[in-house]
Amino acid sequence: MNVTELAQRAKNASFRLATLSGSVKNTALQQVASALRAHADEILQANALDLQAAQAALAAGQMKQALYERLKLTPEKLETTVRGMEQLLALPDPVGMVLDETELDEGLILQKISCPIGVLGIIFEARPDVIPQICALAIKSGNAALLKGGKESLHTNSALMETILSALSTVPGYPQGSFALLTSREESAQMLLEDRYIDLIIPRGGNGLLAYVKANTRIPVLGHADGVCHMYISATADVAMACDVAVDAKTQYPAACNALETLLIDDNWPLSKQEKLLHTLIEHGVTLYGDARVGALVPVAGPVEDWHTEYGEKKLSVRFVPNVQAATAHINTYGSHHTDAIISQDEQEVQLFLNTVDSAGVYHNCSTRFADGYRYGFGAEVGISTGKTHARGPVGLTGLTIYKYKLRGNGQKVADYVGPHAKPFTHKKRGGNV
């Protein structure tokens, strides 16, 4: 089957997925989780084949160590993924929720009801554990999905998908063709053109992937490019807290997209505290970049070349700013709308920061590293969105749903509600359960 046929088949399946009960979806999840455990050996053997090729590429300098690590599946990694999948079982069905209910007139009831988006198109780089994660979220939210993985993990991806498809085929009522694996670049390019059948593209990978996807599709795209996260240390900041939280945000896992990249320090924070914070960061192995003023306090590796820089390692841009307004202006100019924090004891300033900074996450007195679907209590995430529509920040099950309006009456026609003798609408809010 070519990509168009796979996409059309997934679309047809999606109409049936939208009608499944929560219990059928949970049965499907459970079957898939059990099958992944039962077939763990085969999956790890397939992974070994990918790793063999990767080792050669590594030795030839054609692959980075980090990519190799992401490619590597272990029994523990697989078990963690399966457990994550099982955690979704306990979450309420995200489909069929009454988000809003209004009586338009007696006997004419409008409900806004959550429903699946339809067909997802996922493009991910060499991280085979994305397949069970995304499939689990898609199953629970009643979506179909085409998944395109990196060629480096082809054997692993195929083994995972085969296991998942065969498990789903045993679930009564679960439509065939809900999921499919794409493997070539050509298929990926073709998927981006299937706007008739695919409703949302989620690229999971670097900056380049997102840009490529956005430039080549008319389908809505959910994702994030950079994670240039900021922390502003107000003149009122507690120094111990600033040290603690900045060190955590920068060093706890520097490669993460929610790690700190730029530190903005208020001019009016006492000099001794400024020095203490910068020294503490250096003691934790952080290399600082900044201008002469920063250099006058602590050793710096050089000036900041580009305030948009996402280091992804223990390096940090430092800048002094005159006030919270300058801090928010800097963040809204150079940031990536991901997660930005203020350390402050002044509530008015905090409010201004939280409302003005145009980011998915705006934090007060805590580390930017909390920006994560699991930490937010979503159970799992498909990724983090820095866009301004549909879903923002860590995207869990809710971000994979949309709504439809159900209007139920007993023969009402619009003609009765217009003109000189128009019946009035009652527009009585009856609330929703969400």
**Among 261, 253, 247, 251, CA closest to 338:** 261
Query: Contact between 393 and a copy of itself (CB under 8 A)?
Result: yes
Choose which of 98, 241, 282, 326 interacts with a copy of itself (CB under 8 A): 241
Query: Contact between 245 and a copy of itself (CB under 8 A)?
Result: yes
Q: Closest distance between a copy of itself and the C-beta of residue 391, in Å? A: 8
Choose which of 4, 19, 30, 183 interacts with a copy of itself (CB under 8 A): 19
Taking the CA atoms of 332, 333, 337 and 339 in sequence, report the sign of the dihedral they define.
Answer: negative
Q: Closest distance between a copy of itself and the C-beta of residue 158, in Å? A: 29
Q: Closest distance between a copy of itself and the C-beta of residue 33, in Å? A: 21
Choose which of 300, 369, 373, 395 interacts with a copy of itself (CB under 8 A): 369
Residue whose CB is less far from a copy of itself, 287 or 398: 398
Choose which of 411, 420, 421, 424 interacts with a copy of itself (CB under 8 A): 411
Query: Contact between 118 and a copy of itself (CB under 8 A)?
Result: yes
Residue whose pair of structure tokens reads 């090729």 in the numeric block: 53
Choose which of 262, 359, 382, 395 interacts with a copy of itself (CB under 8 A): 359
Phi, psi values for residue 2, rounded to 5°: -85, 175
The DSSP call for residue 423 is P
Q: How far is the CA of 259 from the CAs of 106, 204, 251, 252, 369, in angstroms?
A: 54, 18, 8, 8, 6
Choose which of 355, 422, 423, 430 interacts with a copy of itself (CB under 8 A): 355
Residue whose pair of structure tokens reads 């820089």 in the numeric block: 309
Contact 104, 111 (CB under 8 A): no
Which ranges of 204-299 would DSSP assign to H, the alpha helix?
Answer: 207-215, 239-251, 271-283, 292-297
Which pair of tokens denotes residue 249?
Answer: 């945000």
Q: Closest distance between a copy of itself and the C-beta of residue 139, in Å? A: 17
Q: Closest distance between a copy of itself and the C-beta of residue 406, in Å? A: 5
Residue whose CB is less far from a copy of itself, 319 or 369: 369
Choose which of 31, 102, 156, 317 interacts with a copy of itself (CB under 8 A): 102
Residue whose CB is less far from a copy of itself, 150 or 383: 383
Choose which of 9, 14, 78, 304 interacts with a copy of itself (CB under 8 A): 14
Choose which of 3, 85, 222, 327 interacts with a copy of itself (CB under 8 A): 222
**Among 255, 225, 213, 217, CA closest to 385:** 225
Q: How far is the CA of 191 from the CAs of 34, 61, 143, 214, 366, in angstroms?
A: 30, 31, 16, 13, 40
Report d(CA 130, CA 215) in Å as an integer.
24
Residue whose CB is less far from a copy of itself, 23 or 61: 23
Query: Contact between 232 and a copy of itself (CB under 8 A)?
Result: no
Q: Closest distance between a copy of itself and the C-beta of residue 59, in Å? A: 33
Choose which of 59, 271, 306, 377 interacts with a copy of itself (CB under 8 A): 377
Site map for a copy of itself, 28-47, x if CB under 8 A? --------------------
Choose which of 172, 413, 420, 433 interacts with a copy of itself (CB under 8 A): 413
Which pair of tokens denotes residue 349?
Answer: 């300033």
User: Taking CB under 8 A as the criterion, which residues in 150-179 touch a copy of itself?
Assistant: none
Which pair of tokens denotes residue 226?
Answer: 């950079």
Beta-carbon-side half-sphere exposure of residue 135 (alpha carbons within 13 Å): 32
Choose which of 167, 362, 380, 395 interacts with a copy of itself (CB under 8 A): 362
Choose which of 26, 81, 157, 367 interacts with a copy of itself (CB under 8 A): 367
Q: Closest distance between a copy of itself and the C-beta of residue 25, in Å? A: 14
**Residue type for 224, please?**
H
Q: Give the strands of the sheet with 339-343, arranged side by side.
A: 287-289, 315-321, 260-266, 229-233, 339-343
Phi, psi values for residue 417, rounded to 5°: -110, 10
Residue 416, class by beta-carbon neighbours within 10 Å (0-12 exposed, 13-18 middle, 19+ buried)?
exposed
Site map for a copy of itself, 180-219, x if CB under 8 A? -------------------xx-------------xx--x-
User: Taking CB under 8 A as the criterion, which residues in 326-345 touch a copy of itself?
Assistant: 328, 332
Which pair of tokens denotes residue 56?
Answer: 């050669």
